[in-house]
Amino acid sequence: METQIIYSRASYDDISAVSKLLCVLYEMPFDEVLEENEELFADTNQAFFLALDGDKPVGCSHGSLRREYVNGTTEDLKGYLEAIYVLSEYRNRGIAAELVKVTEHWATMNGCHEIASDCLLENIDSYNFHLKIGYKETERCIFFLKELESLDYKIIPVDDVIRTKIQPILEDTWGSPLLAINGKLWDSRAMSGYVAICDSVVLGYLLYEFHDDVCEIMVLQSVVQNIGIASALIECVKQTAKENNTGKVIVQTTNDNARAIRFYQKRGFTIREIRLGTLEILRRLKPSIPLVGIDGIPLRDEIEFEIEAFR
């Protein structure tokens, strides 16, 4: 007797199960899919759904909310079926169609009146599947690719000339040269630091301060992301801490910044302290600090991370 297939939205606890299925679909290493999904699971515009045979994940779908133009759509906000996959031994049982239905329902509940999808021209099975469940072809196109040369950047200490380049970036991000961190205001214009630069263009920078037997990263910002700049800057400040016989490097972030929280932990930092309600105190020093942060999360607390400089 066949068990009933159960469909549910995947939570973060299901990220491994989802990634195992999607790495087969995408023909990519599991670790790469898992890393990408860590960001997607934290994005409220993304949703994953699982089909379960008992406790066994047998299929999944990935939906998103898109606001950019999508071929054939007419609404500003639309759903998008990013992926659909069912284990081969469970196909032709309506599981894929049901996964699409729950994904469509999620898009509808989020205010969408349209949902789009895509498949490769040679993927006839996927093409016929979309037509069978009510999708219509809107447009065909050919994609082009040109390989770009890698950015050849270097990391150098911040000097007076470099400071004139990074200070406008910092003040545009933080609203002033003054940084409200750990109960006090710090003047970024007096801080030491490192900058990643390519052809006189700033790609990222880090400013730090020595105090109370620690080296504190006061600002870390990548103008160009996902090419390892932030990690390289952290290694530079760890080396500086070693040279100054300082054992710990610390850094602060706020409770809304899930990406930073993941970033630091993945690079060996551990939580040193959580200061509840600190942002209310900091607003007395710097009233421009907003009440709401990333993804509409109330901005309340500071999280302090640390790492051994000699590690």
Asked if residue 145 is part of any domain, the answer here is: no
Regarding whether 231 and 169 lie in a shared domain, the answer is: yes
CATH of the domain at 122: 3.40.630.30
Residues 288, 217 share a domain: yes
Structurally, the chain folds into a number of domains equal to: 2
Q: Are residues 114 and 164 in the same domain?
A: no
Q: DSSP strand E in the chain: where? A: 5-9, 46-53, 56-66, 78-86, 115-116, 154-157, 178-181, 184-187, 192-198, 201-211, 214-222, 248-254, 270-275, 302-308
* 2: pLDDT strictly greater than 70: no
- Which pLDDT does position 231 carry in this prediction? 94
* Alpha carbon distance 277, 254 (integer Å): 11
For 176-209, the pLDDT digits (tens) are: 999 999 889 999 999 999 999 998 899 999 999 9
Do 167 and 296 lie in one domain? The reply is yes
Question: Is residue 245 domain-shared with residue 280, that is, in the same domain?
Answer: yes
Kindly state whether residues 112 and 221 are assigned to the same domain: no
Residues 161 and 253 in one domain: yes
**Is 240 in the same domain as 121?**
no
Residues 288, 165, single domain; the answer is yes
- Give residue-wise pLDDT tens across range 82-116: 999 999 999 999 999 999 999 999 999 999 999 99
Tell whether 293 and 164 lie within a shared domain.
yes
Q: Is residue 219 assigned to a domain?
A: yes
Domain region containing 30 = 5-132
pLDDT at 28 (0 to 100): 94
Co-location of 158 and 302 in the same domain = yes
